[in-house]
A and B are shown apart, each in its own frame.
Chain A
Amino acid sequence: MKKIAKRSRIYFLFPYPPHILYPLLLLSLIILIFLFTALFFKYERGNSNPFLSLLGIETTKDFLFFLLVIICALFVLLVLILSLGFLPSTPSLPA
């Protein structure tokens, strides 16, 4: 608790350092894009597929490949964000 309180003073909005916060935010964004688009697709096309099948997932292998796609997308977006300097320079982490 003490650590988190100390971090909150360093990182203004969230008590997490950027190397945890940014990937988490991006991951949530990517998953949300997939989920909302799948829902929209279901609504627009009147598709009766179950939700996982709608995302192209039928077997465990499909799920692993889907995760791989999300991880790749996350990496590529992180490259852009880090490279363009959207992130503040990493503050020295609390000891």
Chain B
Amino acid sequence: MLAISFTWLFILLSSLAFKRETIKNSPSYSPLISILIPAHNEERVILDILNDFLKQTWRKFQLVVICHNCSDRTFEVASSLRDERLKVIELKTREAGKALALNEGLKHCEGDIVVQMDADNRVPPHFLQRIIGYFSNPKIQAIQARLLTKNADFNLLTKCQQLEYDLFGMPFWEGRMALGLSCTIGGTGVVIRRKILEEVGGWENELIEDFDLYCKLTQRGIRVVYAPDVECYDEKPPYWSSLIIQRARWIKGHFKILRKRMFQPFPLFDIIYMLSPFFYFPWYLCALITALYFPFQRLGLGITFWFPSVYLWLLSLIAMYLFFVYRAISQKEPRDIIYLPVFFLFSFTG
């Protein structure tokens, strides 16, 4: 637990040395971009993202919407838009899984660059233009957009998730970049050259297909670049039950991929990242020991803690708290400091 706390802290502090990748705007570079939008019962939100893309300043793109096992009117709603750049596909499969829809969509992609989005995302009008800025550098093979929270104002839970991304998630990616590592993939706002995607065989139908893709890219030595100026607004679960289901799926998927790729070669930091779910167990073990502390004392089975480790743990928690305060101020959101105590409580389980 101490090891994971200090690794996270080290990566967070490294983010202070993060410098954005230099963007070359070459007017001669004008590729077609394919945008993949898998949708499962998204009739409520699908038009928003499609309209966002149709308003882009970069006009050379192709939109591929894959309505996967939809039981609502997603297909009809998406098809109601008339634009030659829009292609809506209806996909029915026995199995469930976002990867199936993405792979089906990839077959219809004609662009050199593939953008993977979720149907409930929103993007600003300069989203594609900024992507082109990065990809005009031939060394860049894949980028991860900055993930912002679309529904941060809905309730305290979505606010906590916004803080989690702004104060922890994004600095974590920046820190990895500053250390010369690859940025991990966030499941949406991912942009990859089509050639690379085809080489790695697209997505595999895993619970967290994004992490699996990240593993495949890392093993081929492909570095995912974090692009903080390419913004993608993502919708977060607004209620505890949906949040816990989402997190449980992430942990289960993480273990599944760990089991699958356990004996494959990975850089050290990626091994730590892959093993991180194991480090959560000591955390809950501590909680259990605490719960048993007084009953043990009553039974005459006194237990003692190893004090230095607890002091170090507390030190790492305080350092993280101070880092979050600094981050909130540097992001020009000082009012977020007021939410830090509740965010800390949320993060004990989140």
Interface residues of B (CB under 8 A from A): 153-159, 238-241, 243-244, 283-284, 286-291, 293-294, 297-298, 305, 307, 310-311, 313-314, 335, 338-339, 341-342, 345-346, 348-349
Contacts and interface: CB of A to CB of B under 8 A. Distances in A.
A49 B155 contact: yes
> Chain A interface secondary structure, helix, strand, loop or mixed?
helix
B285 to A, nearest CB: 10
Contacts of A80: 310, 313-314
23 contacts: A33-B342, A37-B341, A40-B338, A41-B155, A41-B156, A41-B159, A41-B339, A44-B335, A45-B153, A47-B153, A49-B154, A53-B155, A54-B155, A55-B155, A56-B157, A56-B243, A59-B241, A61-B240, A62-B240, A65-B244, A66-B240, A68-B349, A79-B287
Interface residues of A, number: 40
A90 B338 CA distance: 35
Contacts of B341: 33, 37
Contacts of A85: 307
Given A37-B341, A41-B159, A59 B289 contact: no
Given A54-B155, A75-B288, A76-B283, 18 more contacts: A34-B156, A34-B342, A37-B341, A41-B339, A47-B154, A56-B238, A65-B240, A69-B349, A73-B345, A76-B287, A80-B313, A82-B290, A83-B307, A83-B310, A84-B307, A84-B311, A90-B294, A90-B297
Contacts of B239: 56-59, 62
A42 to B, nearest CB: 9
